[in-house]
Amino acid sequence: MDALDMKLGDLTNTSSHSGTYAEIIKTLSLVDPDYDTLFLKKVYSDIVCLFKGEYPGYRASHTKYHNLEHTCSVILATARLIHGLHVQGQIFSPRVIELGLVAALFHDTGLIQTKKERGGTGAQYTIGHEKRSIAFMGKYLTASGFSAEDITDCGHIIMCTTLTLPLTEIPFRSDEIRLMGKVLGSADLIAQMADRNYLEKLPLLFMEFKEARMSGFETPGELFKNTGKFYHSVVRARLAEEMDNVSSAALFHFKKRWDIDRDLYAESITNNMKYMKKIRKDCAENFDCLLKKIRRK
C-alpha cells in the first residue's frame, strides 16, 4: 500500500496483543537499540493474563470499552510518542521509559475486579479508578523489587490520565517524570479517539458511564450528541494546554518509522469527528439511524 493511502489502523492491529507488543519493541529499538525489555515483557504478559482472568486473585475484565485492546492501543501510542520526542531530541532515561510504559499498562487496571468483587462489571469504579490502578501497580512493583520512589513516580504518571485533574496538582519529583506523564495523558486520549471503530464503540462506553452513574449521559443519544463538543472543548484543550501538545510528536514517529509524513492520530481523529458530524446531521435525533450509520465497513 502506498504511504499516501496508509491509515493508522493499517500499521498495527491492536486487537492482537502479541502483534502490538512486537511493534512496541521495534519502536523502542529505534529509541535505544540496547534497551532492556526483560521486565517489560514480564509485566506485559501479566497484564494480558489479568485482562483474560488468568491472574491470581482477579476476575477477567468485563468492561467492553476499556478492555485489553484499549490498553494495547495506549501503550503503543505511548511508545510512539516517546520515539517521536526522541527524534526531536528529547532523551528519556531508560528508567523513566520503563515507568512510562508500565504506567500505560496499569492505567485502567482499577476497572478490573478482584475475585471478591462480584457485583457489576467494574465500570462502577470509573470515577476514581485511577487510584485503584495505582494501588494495584504499587503492589505489583513492590513485589518486583522497585523502589518507593519508582512507585511514586509511576503513580504520578498514571494520574495524568485523570481527565479532570490539572497537572499542577500532581507533585512530580522531576521535569522528566512530568513530561512522561504528559506523554501517557496524551496517549490515552489520542489512542481512543483515533480508533477506526471509536464511533462504533460509543454505545459500549455509554454502558460503562451508566453503570458508573455518571451525570450528563442519561441516554446513548446524549453521548453521541455531546461527543463532538467533548472533543473540541475538552480533549483538544487538554492536549494543547495541560499536555503542551506532546501528541504532535507522533508526526516525527510516523515519518521516521514508516516514512509517512503525516500525523495519523490527528488525521484519524479529524476523520472520526467529521463523520460524527455528518451522521448527526443525517440522522437528527434518530438513535436507530445513528447506530446503523456508525457501523462503517
Query: Block means of pLDDT (10 residues each) for the chain, length 297 residues?
Result: 83 97 98 97 98 97 96 98 98 98 98 95 96 98 98 98 96 98 98 94 90 80 82 94 98 98 97 89 78 69
**Quick check: is 179 in a domain?**
yes
pLDDT the model gives residue 148: 98
| CATH code for the domain of 52 | 1.10.1300.10
Does residue 25 sit within a domain?
A: yes
190 touches 250 (CB < 8 A): yes
Greatest extent of the chain over all pairs of C-alpha atoms, in Å: 56
Cα–Cα dist 64/59, whole Å: 14
Residue 134 within a domain: yes
**What's the pLDDT score for residue 222?**
79
Considering the domain boundaries, does residue 119 fall inside one? Answer: yes
How many domains does the structure of the chain reveal?
1
Report the pLDDT value the prediction gives residue 1, as an integer from 0 to 100. 61
Residue 3 is assigned to a structural domain of this protein: no
How far apart, in whole angstroms, are the C-alpha atoms of residue 151 and residue 129? 17
For residue 226, give its domain range: 12-294
Q: What is the pLDDT of residue 258?
A: 97
Residue 1 lies in a domain: no
Residue 6 lies inside a defined structural domain of this protein: no
Distance (Å) of CA 297 to CA 104, 197, 228, 293: 30, 10, 22, 10
Q: Please report the pLDDT score of residue 294 as a whole number.
A: 78
pLDDT digits (tens, 9 = 90+) for 20-58: 999 999 999 999 999 999 999 999 999 999 999 999 999
- The burial class, CB within 10 Å (0-12 / 13-18 / 19+), for 199 is buried
Residue 34 lies in a domain: yes
Task: Enter the C-alpha cell of residue 94.
Answer: 531508560
